[in-house]
Amino acid sequence: MGFWVITGRLVLAFVLGGLVGWEREYEEKPAGLRTLILVSIGSALFVLVTQAVIATAASGNAAGVDSLRIVAGVAQGVGFLGAGTIFTSRGTVHGLTTAAAIWAMSAVGVACGFGAWQMALVGTALTFVALRVLGPLSVRIGGGGQNSRGNSSAPASAISSSSGISSSSSSGAAGGRGAPPNDR
């Protein structure tokens, strides 16, 4: 794979991650422009490095297995990053949409890394629409599980019991940081 192909894939990951990151930044969410750019570029880099190693090793059938492993590793690692944006406050869960945006942008980065630019563009466009159009729309059509500010109003006990997160340890007040800003 040539230098310009690698550069093009990384620049595409940068631009698409930046588009959704800008939206999160505009809404003053904890994971914004730089975070989503880094997630998208990092995901693309993991794929590109894996492809380079496979090309060097030329181990035949192992190529498909190794590519699948790296995609699984990216999804799992970014899941931990996203989990850091989810917290409970006064019995309400916040940060789920930002966590989902981080996860979606990692998939866009993986698509850029594999050279699937059509998938990356459509994935970014749909993610952007979900954040910019459907957020305000869900409030207008009856809340859609969100209060008037667009924050998730799911009871903390419902999410805590299924995810293993303790509402007392994830309240956002630990560590002297104070509660993070609300999220849609």
The residue ranking higher by pLDDT, 93 or 174, is 93
Residue 182 is assigned to a structural domain of this protein: no
Residue 160: which residues within 8 A CB-CB, separation 6 or more? Answer: 88, 166, 167, 170
Residue 131 is assigned to a structural domain of this protein: yes
- Reduced to 3 states (helix: H, G, I; strand: E, B; else coil), residue 126 is helix
- pLDDT over threshold 70, residue 161: no
pLDDT in tens, 33-77: 888 888 888 788 878 877 776 776 665 555 555 677 777 888 788
pTM listed for this prediction: 0.58
- Look at residue 152 in the predicted model and tell me its pLDDT: 47
Residue 179 is assigned to a structural domain of this protein: no
pLDDT in tens, 73-129: 887 888 787 788 888 888 777 888 888 888 888 889 888 888 888 888 988 988 888
Residue 180 is assigned to a structural domain of this protein: no
Q: In one letter, which amino acid is 157?
A: S
Mean pLDDT of 149-176: 42
- Look at residue 81 in the predicted model and tell me its pLDDT: 79
Residue 165 is assigned to a structural domain of this protein: yes
**Residue numbers of the domain that contains 98:** 3-172
Angle between helix 117-132 and helix 3-26 axes, rounded to 10 deg: 0
- Look at residue 56 in the predicted model and tell me its pLDDT: 65
Total of domains in the chain: 1
Mean pLDDT of 151-179: 42
